[in-house]
Structure formats: C-alpha cells, structure tokens
Structure 1
C-alpha cells in the first residue's frame, strides 16, 4: 500500500535541488524516512555551538532566519530561507558544532532529512554532492545575505575562464597619500609641494571635499608656456569639476573614464561624488593596460568611429561583451558601470558627429541629458531612448531661433541612435520634442510647475525626469537644474507624500498563494511584466527615499539603496536587500532579453524552472517590505 504522506513529501522534494537531481525511486525511499516538524514563530531549530543533529533541513512552509553573532554578541540575520531552501548542512561535511542559529521567522513546517539515508546518494551522484558542497561553503541563497550573495539565475553551463581574461575587472590600485591644497594656494607653492612629495598631481579641496585637480600636464600647458604667472592662485589652473568614484573602481572602469573625459587622474571619495571627503587618487600610471579585446578597445573604437554603421557594429560587440560577462557571473555592479560608459560614449560620439554635420556652430552652450534607465546607469539592453536637451538662457528675441537649431540637432541625433539600436520612445520623451528641448529657465519653470501641480501626470513626469545624467555638453547647466530641483523640494512634504503614493502604484507582484501576477489581456496576456511589477517599484522607492534625504549625484537604484543603508543604520538590512534585488532583477531581465533577442521586459513564466521562480519570489518579498516602510513613513495608505 502506498504511503500517501511520503508520496506528497517526495512530490514536494522533486521540485527543488538537490532532490530534483535524483531518480524518483531514490526520492521515494528518502521521503519514507523524512521527519515532518512543526515550529511556531521564533522557535530555535538549532543554535550556535549546539552539537550537530543527525538531519539537515528543508523549508516546506514558512521561513527560517539564519543568524550569526555580531561583535556585540547580538544576533544578526545573514540569510533567510523559505519554501524549498535547505539549511543545516554542517553535519554532512563537518563534525564540529553549529556555527550559526536557525530561528523560525514565521510559523513553519520543516522537513528533516536523515543524514544516514541521504548521504549515500550524495556520494554516488556528483551533481548532488557538488550542489551541497557549494551551498554549505557559501550559504548563497538570497538578498538578505550580505557576504554570500547568490546567483539569481542558475547558469545552464559551467563557464571557465583564465584569470587574465578578467584582469580589467580587478580593483584599481588607489594612492591614499595624495597631496591636497586649498584654492588660495599659489601655483608656485603647489608646484613645490608636488616636487617635494614626488607626485604628478595635487587635489584642490574645500572642507576636505574635492573641488578641482591640477596635474603636471596643466603646469606644462599653462605655466611653462607663460599663460599664467606662478604667483596666481591654483584655482586659476585647476580642472573642475573633479571626476570622482568610490573605492572598488575597476581597471576597466578607470580606463573608460579617463578616455571618455580625456583625463589621467580620478579622485576617490567616500561615496563616489564630490560631496564627501577625498580618500585617494588613481593615476594613469597606476594602470597596467590589459591586452586583447576588452572594454578599453571598444571605447577607442567608439571614439574613432566615422559613421553610424560603425557605431552600430560596435554596439553589437558590446552586446557580445555583456553576454560574456553575464555567463561568467561577473558582479552586475561592474557590468553596469562598464556598459554604461560604453553606451554613454556611443551617445557622445553620435552627438559630436551630428554637430559636425550642422551648417553652423551651436548658438549657445547646451547639455544632452539621458533619462530613465540610461540616466540611472541601468540600461544594458536595447531599450527605448529617453532624452532631453537644456540650453543656456538667451534673449527673448533669439529664443525660438536657438530652439530651432537644437531641435534640428536632436532630430539628427535621435535618428542615428535609432539606427544604432535605441528604439524611439513611444511617448516621444526625446530631445527632438519641443516639450523637452528647453532653455535653463524654461526647464526650471517646468520642474516648478510639475512639483507644485503634483497631479498624477506631473508626478509621473517628475519620476522620469528626476533621473537624468549628462551625456554631452556643459555640466554647469545640469548642475544648476539639479540644484533647482532640490531647492523647490526643500520642505515640500506634500509633494513627497504624493510621490510616495505614486511609488506604491505597483504593489508586490505576488498574489494569493504566492502566485505571479501576470497581464490579464492584450498582446502580452499571461506574460509577466518584470519592469512594471519588479524593477519599477524598487526604482520608485529608491528615488523617493534618496530625495527625502536630499542626496545629490546618485541616480543608480542599487547605489541609492546602499547610500540609504549608510544613512539609516536601523533599516540597513531592508535597504541592502533592496539593493541586491534591484541588481538581481535587472540581471534577470538582461539574461531574458539576450536569450530572446528583445528588451527582456515580458517573460513567459512557463519557460522558467522552479528554482528561478522561487528566487524571483524571494526578491519580490523585499518590494512588499520597502513599500510597507514607505506607507508608514509617508502616512500613505492608498494606491493611485
């Protein structure tokens, strides 16, 4: 007679690795020996230093916190396990006592798998053994683990590569003993200081924050040629603003940045912006140029490209590079930074070539702004182009004439970007649209109107246009626009509350029984919209919270959450989970897009394995948690 309980246990186990790797006959034998355990919330399954059990465990229902003790001997959650997650593998590989606590986070049903029954199958099946060893060694499962973050998508094949192939993704050497000076320091004093310290640059600081940089090249071009007397202040020869990054800058990213901005030094600050204390400097001399085909080679090709067709071919190579990085499981932060720089250089080169084709020079200084995912440094695939243009204020008589010039330029640029692979925006949020080709004063007036009106449409436009990044032109214009935005938001709690309500318009994408909410009708019926239901809620939440803290110059979603984790230590865990989930969902979408040769937005859930679905659901749990935080903080209890 068939044991119905054991049969149901086997059915459950068959959907999760490593049990899914076993034949049904073996699975039935194991299921007959499984112990079913029920725990109320807050119960201890095992504790640190406790003698190891004769079982390891898998969550059937509920959730389990894995905790370690911090320096103050307080428990800190390092991982969360829910349906299908295994834990407590120490007795499988080591005889010493448990090193962590396992505490139920909610009412839970746990299956205990006897070691003596399961171990023979782990030994005889190398795939099962490898899975367990990797899980035990790394504890990789979900976004709550800061030290051991796992893959969102299981690789279909093992990717091996030489260490040299990833040379450009290694951290760049940072010189911490840099030379600094105030802006009033004379050129002669700075030169003497550089000579004495035997360095090639001096960072000009105010309140320990970088405002400029002077290199030996600047001395050669401005002083040796007699353009400026050596008694003048160093501020007259310094380069400003300073290009800044935080620590962790890779060799590839440093190379791309130096080539893009035609510089040979990069300043390292606490948060990667000029708003915090300078921590070090990176010099071109500190970089050993990697050999072979790499991002630096593509950057050089972009800068030399003499036609749109060549830029399109280079863009295809960038996609190959992206696919290779993803298969090699390179951290998405590094991938995003590199692809952003290559995309940005492509846009810049396109604009340069279009300016050359105009019959006359630009009538005023201007800046080309990338919006949306490119503005947030999150655009990896061929998605819609969202952009705008701001030009400096001109007289009323010349306003429309000036606008006509930039509209003509923008039409040329957007057309060529479309050829390269960036589709036209269906909503015409592009610089060729007169609505989004404005003078600085017009843009300031436009933002003031959007903020003060605060209707649904205005809030939506703010969400799009608040995430901008300069791709070409005069940075003073975009800085002025950014300052204006923060000025009109100062003390405007009503607008933030409206922004909060809008950020909650897409609730957690899981319905009853943890099922995905898919499209109900139309062309995309039964498909899952990962952008609308997964990525956008996190993007909107990060934007809202970073605006509340009035933090400038950070537009990337995961970087915003990382910054929020620093600003609010009491919410550190949820912000770190959101930062991870943001990167993981973008990575998931990118892989789907590359696989299906589209933008990866709509996903057929039938194509996904159970493991991928579970990992996606785990990421979506953070959406619910961050939205609960927003509801409480902004006293917002409804969706728009």
Structure 2
C-alpha cells in the first residue's frame, strides 16, 4: 500500500468536494497526485500562463491569488489548507487570468484533471462545488469566521445553495450554421470564416447528424489527414451531443465533461431526432458563470462608480428572467434578488461615505417597502429611511446636515443605477425621513397612538423595513418601539385594517376584471393595487397583531401565520400561493415591457392565464372576511 497516497486521501476527505468521494476513490486519485513545495513568494502560475494539466489543493501554508485591475495587481483571495484553486483548465481553454503565489513556505497538491474528470461527470455534487468555486474564483477567505465557505454560500439558504447553477442564464448561438453532409470542406471553412463562427452543424432533414469545429480543421485538415476537397462527413464528430432548449449551466457543463466535447447541439426536445435550435460552446458557459449570484455580489463590492453598479443590476435582471423561465420557485428568486439589491444599496452608501468622509455619529440605513420585504424583482422606485444615534443638542444640526448630504448622494447613485426616486418622497434624502432615533421613536408613537392624523401621514410601508447598512442596535430599538405599541392598540389596528380593505375589488359583480376607466392605462388591470397590495397589507396587519417579529416577506408572513394561527391555516396558505402567482404575472409583465409591471393588458393573456389570475383572487375574499371579523372595524370605516 502506498502510505503517501493513503495519507493524502485521508487529508482530502476532510474537505469539499473530496468528501463526496469514497475512500477507495480518493486513494485512486491520490496515487496520481503531484506534491509541490513552494518557497515563500514563489509563483505557481501567473496571468497569461498557459493552462496546466492539473488543478490544486493547498496542503499547508497560504497561497495568494491576485489579478490586474487598473494597471495594478490586486489581491483577490487567500487560500488556506483544503482550499481548491486553479480550476480554469476544467472549464475554459484560454490562459490563466490570475496569479497564484505562495505567501509563506507552502505545500500544494497537484491533481491531474484527466484523472479527476470521471469522478466529476459521475457526481453532480462534485461538479456543483467546482462550478461554484470557479465562478467565484475561490473561497471567501477574507471573512475568517466563514472561511471554508464559498462566496456564494453567504447569500443562499441551505434550501437554495444546491440549485445555484440553475439560477444562471445561459445565452448561446440560436442561429447556428447548418450544412449538408456532402458539403465540401473548403467551402465550409470559408462559410465559418465569413460568419466568424467556430462550429457548424451537419444536418439531414434538419436533424443533427454531426458537428464540425475549428478543432476538426486543425487536427484533420491542417495536418494533411484529409484534403480540402473532402466532404464534411469525413471530418465531422458524430453523433453530435444534444441537449434541450431549457438546459441549465450545470447540466450543460456536465454533458461537456461527460462526453469530452467542446460544443453541444440544442434541439427542440433534446434528442438528435428533432429540429436544431442552437449551439452551446464552452465559451458560453464561461460567460454564464460570470452571472453567478456570488460573482455579482463580489462585483458589487469592487464597484467604484454607479455605472459599474448598473451593469450588475442589468445582469440581475437577466438572472431573474432566466430563473422564472426555468420555473425556479419565486420565493428563492426573491431571496437572491433581495440580497443582491441590498448589496447594491450598501455599496452606494459606502461610495457616498468615501466621498463625504466618515459619519459624525453611528446610524442605520433602512430600506422600506418592497425592498424591505425582499420583494423587489423589477426596477421600481427606491424607499428608505435613515436613523442616526442621539447626539448633544448643539451638534444635532451639523450631524443631521451630514446625513442629509450623505442620503442625497446615495439616492442619486441609486437613481443612476436605475432605481427611480420615490414619487411620494419616502427616501432618506427627504429631511422628514432622516432624523435621530428619539425623533423616530416620537414619529412611530404618533403614528400608532393617534393614527389618521394629517401630520406626517403614516404609510404602512414604514412597517416593512430591513437594515442595509449601519448599527443593528438602532434597528432593534425601532422594532422594540413598534411592538410595544401594538399591544392592545385597537385604534391602530382599526386604522390599518380599514386601510387594508379600502382598495377597489379586483373583480366586478359579473366576475370580470375591474379595469382602469381612464388615463394612459385605460382598459388595463392594475394587478399591483387591486390584487397584490391587499395581500401585502393583510399579511402585515395580521403579523403585527400577533406580535411576530422579524418576518418581513409577504409569502413568509402567510407561512408563519399558518403555523401561529392553525385554525385559519388553509386561508393563509392559499394567500401565500396567491401572492406567488400574482407576483409572477406582474414580474413577467414588467420584464416584457421594461416597466414596473403594475398594469396588465388582460386581452394579451391566454384564457388559461386569465383563469389562473382569477383563481388567485379567490382567497382575498376569505382574507377580507377574516380581517373584518377579527378586528371589528368601526372608526375608520
């Protein structure tokens, strides 16, 4: 027995993705592993080096990964024992795009890709791990508490982390070159050159029977094996590997590895007995991996301008669109989108602070409304408040002036990113919504003890908030004030309950949609105001009345209510489902027309879609009856 290989196998078993392999499989891999001793400051590979035939695992020591940005070498990450790096040869053919250098005397294991590939193609967990690692370059070792987690792990629950590759959009060539099997090689080469294409599909009756790539020309024509006057059926790779149109990044990568090919043919049903719809190349997968949510968060952290943040927001829109197309549960999409939008807001605040200088007091920036509920998928307006800690009276004016300036810079940055200014002025840049903790306590006390008074009229969105930046203790203090005020506060719930039920019904007496009667949206259905908002308002009202803290998302609020109030669990669960259905239709409308999705042209929907929306409106009546019964609404009726 090779004791060195045995020891390496035992070491690797402690770390992902090797923990997915059996001991015998690890010993088999370990027998082929090279052990590299790197002295301090010694480079293993550098930017633009040709790719190695191995990838690497740190056995001991520290390896620094760096890249060039703005003509300067920037540290990207640190790799410690058990960290995997140098994965580019697995997923791309171009040269290294970073430098790996020993920070101290280190030992690195070199694992031959040829030996490890079969275990990847047989084990989806190994593939998922390597894809995530490659997409986020390496592990997030800046955060010592979470070292050993991938960057992407920080924005995924356990429920969604395994699905990362299914959230990513996969753009590919949907107008591939097609030729007959008896086409002459010379003519095909010219066709590919004229169209700047590196592949061509060989078809019979529009069914794919083979593929010819640049590699075939280099390996079969350039070396003289076949003359230029040959027909392409002599040099094509056959049969061609086919996949369906809705293939995910993970599935496509798995097929490339499994069959050791560089291109996949997309067909209508995924077989070679249906029409050709496109070609996926290795390059397409590399591009797709740049839309990995973890990578987007890292791009946000490095962004120095609103333009860079806007580019990430545009990638997020692509990610949302492809996720919906793949039927990813909307709750998961909300979670991912919410974290990325929150990261954009946080970076906008950081850039404003870099510009203005350090804050004169501690503070908390809270997103309110849809963003506070993590329900912002479309480019809707921005809603925020700023709370700064109490300061001495003689400093108050200067401190508030700083935070107003800060807020104006932040909201300007976010407007450039694409988040519109709130038409109602519910933004931290409005001096009414930027004030000290004591002033905010007075504000909420007034709203909740004397609701309905005109001064600083209350909007219910102020009860949906999430901290984006600053002191958690300040947010906690605000939450404490709200939940102290809800106890036995019939007047407040009377006001909130009537506000919830004040919306016009979505359907008329004849079960037809209540459409807009005038204005630019005449004849359209206001799905936001008439269908979605009553569910949002109802969930908020009930969650506050039951004093359930820390649940802001409407879908999760209904789920929580079903557990806390089992007598009506069926109604709550129906409302949760209805919220998902209606939100999906609004999102699809917004993505289609690059709008907020508020107004839907009912005539453009299929009969099935119209019936699905109507079915989602049914639980609203039950919710309305429950609210009327529970709160005995009177004063504000």
- Cα distance change of structure 1 residues 513 and 218 upon mapping to structure 2, 3 Å threshold: closer
Structure with larger RCO (C-alpha < 8 A, sep 6+) = 1
Task: Give 5+ residue unaligned stretches, structure 2.
Answer: 1-122, 132-141, 148-153, 168-287
- Of residues 575, 580, 597, the one that matches 1:578 is 575
- Answering whether residue 159 of structure 2 is matched by residue 248 of structure 1, we say yes
Partner of residue 612, structure 2: 615
* RMSD of aligned alpha carbons: 3.1
- Cα distance change of structure 1 residues 479 and 302 upon mapping to structure 2, 3 Å threshold: same
* 1:90-489 matches, cutoff 5 A: 217=144, 248-251=159-162, 293-358=291-356, 360-455=357-452, 461-489=458-486
CA deviations 1:132-168 (Å, max 9, x no partner) are xxxxxxxxxxxxxxxxxxxxxxxxxxxxxx9899959
The answer on whether the counterparts of 2:390 and 2:438 sit within 8 Å (CA) in structure 1 is yes
In the alignment, the residues of structure 2 paired with residue 294 and residue 244 of structure 1 have an alpha-carbon distance, to the nearest angstrom, of: 11
The answer on whether the counterparts of 2:291 and 2:315 sit within 8 Å (CA) in structure 1 is no
In the alignment, the residues of structure 1 paired with residue 410 and residue 382 of structure 2 have an alpha-carbon distance, to the nearest angstrom, of: 11
In the alignment, the residues of structure 2 paired with residue 165 and residue 509 of structure 1 have an alpha-carbon distance, to the nearest angstrom, of: 49
In the alignment, the residues of structure 2 paired with residue 326 and residue 469 of structure 1 have an alpha-carbon distance, to the nearest angstrom, of: 25
3-state SS, counterpart of residue 472 of structure 1: strand
In the alignment, the residues of structure 1 paired with residue 588 and residue 496 of structure 2 have an alpha-carbon distance, to the nearest angstrom, of: 31
The answer on whether the counterparts of 1:508 and 1:623 sit within 8 Å (CA) in structure 2 is no
**Aligned-pair CA distance for 1:453:** 1.7
In the alignment, the residues of structure 2 paired with residue 326 and residue 320 of structure 1 have an alpha-carbon distance, to the nearest angstrom, of: 10
Larger-Rg structure: 2
In the alignment, the residues of structure 1 paired with residue 385 and residue 469 of structure 2 have an alpha-carbon distance, to the nearest angstrom, of: 11
The size of the alignment, in residue pairs, is 378
Partner of residue 217, structure 2: none
- Cα distance change of structure 1 residues 312 and 218 upon mapping to structure 2, 3 Å threshold: closer
**Aligned-pair CA distance for 1:321:** 0.6
Task: Give 5+ residue unaligned stretches, structure 1.
Answer: 1-161, 171-214, 221-242, 257-289
The answer on whether the counterparts of 2:156 and 2:336 sit within 8 Å (CA) in structure 1 is no
3-state SS, counterpart of residue 390 of structure 1: strand
3-state SS, counterpart of residue 387 of structure 2: strand
3-state SS, counterpart of residue 470 of structure 1: strand
User: Structure 1 length normalisation: TM-score?
Assistant: 0.56
**Aligned-pair CA distance for 1:307:** 1.2
- Answering whether residue 411 of structure 2 is matched by residue 500 of structure 1, we say no
CA deviations 1:522-569 (Å, max 9, x no partner) are 222222111100110000000000001101110000100000000111
Partner of residue 597, structure 1: 594
In the alignment, the residues of structure 2 paired with residue 405 and residue 361 of structure 1 have an alpha-carbon distance, to the nearest angstrom, of: 10
User: Structure 2 length normalisation: TM-score?
Assistant: 0.56
The answer on whether the counterparts of 1:447 and 1:462 sit within 8 Å (CA) in structure 2 is no
**Aligned-pair CA distance for 1:461:** 2.3
- Cα distance change of structure 1 residues 336 and 609 upon mapping to structure 2, 3 Å threshold: same
In the alignment, the residues of structure 2 paired with residue 335 and residue 615 of structure 1 have an alpha-carbon distance, to the nearest angstrom, of: 21
In the alignment, the residues of structure 1 paired with residue 309 and residue 163 of structure 2 have an alpha-carbon distance, to the nearest angstrom, of: 20
**Aligned-pair CA distance for 1:635:** 1.2
The answer on whether the counterparts of 2:299 and 2:312 sit within 8 Å (CA) in structure 1 is yes
In the alignment, the residues of structure 2 paired with residue 394 and residue 530 of structure 1 have an alpha-carbon distance, to the nearest angstrom, of: 45
Partner of residue 558, structure 2: 561
In the alignment, the residues of structure 2 paired with residue 496 and residue 548 of structure 1 have an alpha-carbon distance, to the nearest angstrom, of: 8
